[in-house]
Amino acid sequence: MSKVTPMIQQYIDIKKEYKDCLLFFRVGDFYEMFFEDAVIGAKALEIALTSRDGEKAIPLAGIPYHALDTYLVRLIKKGFKVAICEQVEDPKEAKGIVKREVVKVITPGTVTDDNLLSSKDNNYICAISTFSTKFGFSLLDNSTGEFSFTEGKYDLNQIISLLVKYNPSEIIVFDDNGFMDKLETLSPNTSIHSIDYEAIEKFNNLFQCYVSYTAGIKAVQLLLSYVISTQKSHLSHLNQLDFFSLEQFMSLDYSTIRNLEITTTIKENKKQGSLLWVLDKTQSPMGGRKLKQWLLNPLLKVEDIDNRLNTVEMLHNDLYYTKKLSNLIGSVYDLERIATKISYNSVNPKDLVALKTSLSVLPDIKQMLLKSNFQPLVNIANKLLELDDLVEIIEQGIVENPPTQVKDGNIIKKGFDEQLDKLKYTAENGREWLAKYEHEQRELTGVKSLKVGFNKVFGYYIEVTRSNSHLVPENYQRKQTLANAERYITEELKEYEDIILGASEQIMELEYKLFCEVRNSALVKIPEIQTNSEVIAELDCLSTFALVASDNGYCKPVVDTNDTIEINAGRHPVIEQMIATENFISNDTIMNCSDNNILVITGPNMAGKSTYMRQVALITLMAQVGSFVPAANAKIGVVDRIFTRVGASDDLSSGQSTFMVEMNELANILNNATPKSLIILDEVGRGTSTFDGMSIAQGAIEYIYNPEKLGAKTLFATHYHQLTSLEALYPGIKNYSIAVKEEKDQITFLHSIIPGGSDKSYGIQVAKLAGVPNTVIRRAKEILTSLEEGYTGHSEVALAKEPEDLFTPVLENYSDIIEEIKDADVNNMTPMEALMFVNSLKKKVSK
């Protein structure tokens, strides 16, 4: 490359340290990208790609500095990392090239800006490490300060389940034997990086009680190494590291989260239509994030579940109280993310006012909780920390409706600082003097259009139109000539310019200094702010459960350690919201590990088998989350895992067929379920031949039923009616079917689960309902009759015919009628004649 300018050389040197980032290089009022970054950035942002003047070999693309957030949103959503390189000295004072440094690296997993985040979703970054036979998994939401980790025996399925549950935007890996390659295959849309880790002494206080978790702490240090290197900050919002045991919560794998549509729908991956959509009526961003966490981490300890259920019950029994409490919670802004902004010095004046407003509500919430005299609510109240001193500082210091930008001025209230008040008085008097001076000069010169103006180049000036320039006094000094006017200055005007501009500059500097003092008062309170945020989030979820239960007619379930699931008049929580609630058909369920171990459910497609099985799983999950459930009453024995095998599709990325995917999921269930698990199996074995599929299905049922092998509670839907014979062989297997009303050749699904198996699939009737042509339906009935009678010869001949011959016998039988229709002059028939003609045809067809 030919010799470049000092600035471009500075860019090249900085870029070497940030090869995996787009480098936003501050040049005046723009962020510039050069070389390959310019090409990539211009394409990603759909902006112009040009070249630097005099250096045409160097591609250039740039954005205005004030539009940074807008463009960052687009880049981060596309998975880019962006290094922000600022001018770290005043260009006026710089000797030579202006000093520049990267002040922050923004990545998909570390963003904290509200414009880049969803208020009710966590934005996690995770790190995964391996050590001996164990793996470590650490998790951080940098925007809220939530920081946790776990470790366990190395198990790729377990790691994948954690990734699905927390859905991180970014994954950091300490690469070990191709582990990273496997992750890239499984998570193609997630940013994944492999880095080395280092011990982070600064955070040793977080690790002290966790030294025995070697693999877990390795993952924590790996994550901290990455975050410190990108954020270039003290990370003072990371005050607590939590360990979560893999046995602490119900384990939900990818298939279960997806098939039960817990947080998003299967088809469109949207919140609407999911369980979260039904339950999330939270009033605060923290509550929305907490509720999602609860749904993906159902509890296993009955005591913990009962604590939630009892609190929800108390709130449910006094809805006036709960609605009032919920309204107060709605006045609380996102305390978690405001605390993080304070930590990063990125908090703005409006954020501090929002903080003050939120903290001002806490005493009222606390008093409401204490007045309840309900011990769990009193315990929650005692966790709330009133920060009256911080509220007072913000109240005294920051104006009620400040600008968003810190450097815009007009932030600090009058009376907060004596020196600032004096400067503002001087500036205000200066402006008054200018107005008076302008009036005096008009009188002096006789030029009524004379005006005093200001620009950054010349400062204050007097502008007179060209036609009146002969009237200006001798003490006017010409400064600039315009097309239609002349601009002048006077010594008197320049004296006051120094006073006014000096005061304005000092005001800006002092306001920023005072703002930083107020911000630092909040900085030392970050742990207390985060504690209050956690308490409000929990309270928001509990009150939401109570209000949703009231709106939807849910009941309080009884949760215990027995193996029984007993649901009376259970309903699917999502589907009943999609249709009129009164039209939803409720169903009972009784399951245990003895005489109702496996329920084999038969019946036609579209009749409601899958809906019924999913509703049992969702009611169980909701009960263990601590929510009321859609049923008349319910008794739920705690389950450690819910497994689902529902539907299947080819996994082309790994070269697996539908049947292979199905068998992988079945193997995962049979290898990992326990007697305490709940298993949902829908149409196992349908991806292969009838006899193979039936054999696999029966083998799976017998394995699950055997208490020495598994003995787990299972709902098993199938079209293999031969499996209903297992009820006679095994006392714990019970047959159920979907009730169907059959009239002549028509069927109506009643959506009720009734005892006993079904010996019919009603496949042809369902095909008819779906709109399959009648000629196909008639032929299908003929073939079915032959198969059911055990006569195969005629069917084999019929099936071997060419397609055009398939319906010839039908047409021959009705040839006379067809000719009669062809000859009918329908255009000249009266309505009565047409009706009589159709009636005669009907009689002939019936014969």
> Residues annotated in the binding site for ATP, as ranges?
603-610
By C-alpha distance, which of 108, 173, 164, 184 is closest to 138?
Answer: 173
Q: How far apart are CA 194 and CA 58, in angstroms?
A: 31
Three-class HEC string of 540-598 = HHHHHHHHHHHHHCCECCEEECCCCEEEEEECCCCHHHHCCHHHCCCEEEEECCCCCCE
By C-alpha distance, which of 415, 430, 550 is closest to 497?
Answer: 430
Q: How far apart are CA 131 and CA 135, in angstroms?
A: 6
Q: How far apart are CA 386 and CA 515, in angstroms?
A: 22
The values of phi and psi at residue 637, to 5°, are -80, 130
8 A C-beta contact, residue 727 and residue 735 = yes
Residue 455 CA from chain centroid, whole number: 48
Long-range contacts of the stretch 400-409 (C-beta < 8 A, 24+) = 400/353, 401/353, 402/349, 402/350, 402/353, 403/349, 403/350, 404/348, 404/349, 404/350, 405/348, 406/348, 406/349, 406/512, 406/515, 407/508, 407/512, 409/507, 409/508, 409/511
Q: How far apart are CA 653 and CA 649, in angstroms?
A: 12
Rg (CA), the chain: 37
8 A C-beta contact, residue 747 and residue 765 = yes
8 A C-beta contact, residue 751 and residue 579 = no
Query: How crowded is the C-beta side of 467, counted as CA atoms within 13 Å?
Result: 3
Q: How far apart are CA 3 and CA 275, in angstroms?
A: 62
8 A C-beta contact, residue 335 and residue 355 = yes
657-681 burial, b if ≥16 CB within 10 A, otherwise e?
eebebbbbbbebbbebbeebbbbbb
8 A C-beta contact, residue 16 and residue 39 = no
CA dihedral 689, 692, 696, 697 (to 10 degrees): 50
8 A C-beta contact, residue 634 and residue 623 = yes
- Tally of CB atoms within 10 A around 363: 14
8 A C-beta contact, residue 210 and residue 216 = yes
Residue list, annotated binding site: 603-610
Long-range contacts of the stretch 14-20 (C-beta < 8 A, 24+) = 14/85, 14/100, 14/101, 14/102, 17/102, 18/83, 18/102, 18/105, 20/81, 20/193
By C-alpha distance, which of 781, 734, 736 is closest to 758?
Answer: 736
Query: How crowded is the C-beta side of 410, counted as CA atoms within 13 Å?
Result: 8
H helix or E strand, kind and range, residue 513: helix 491-523
Helices then strands, counting H and E runs in the chain, come out as 30, 26
DSSP 752: E
The identity of residue 630, as a single letter, is P
Q: For the sheet with 191-194, list strands across it.
A: 191-194, 170-173, 125-131, 134-141, 146-153, 242-243
389-406 burial, b if ≥16 CB within 10 A, otherwise e?
ebbebbeebbeeebeeeb
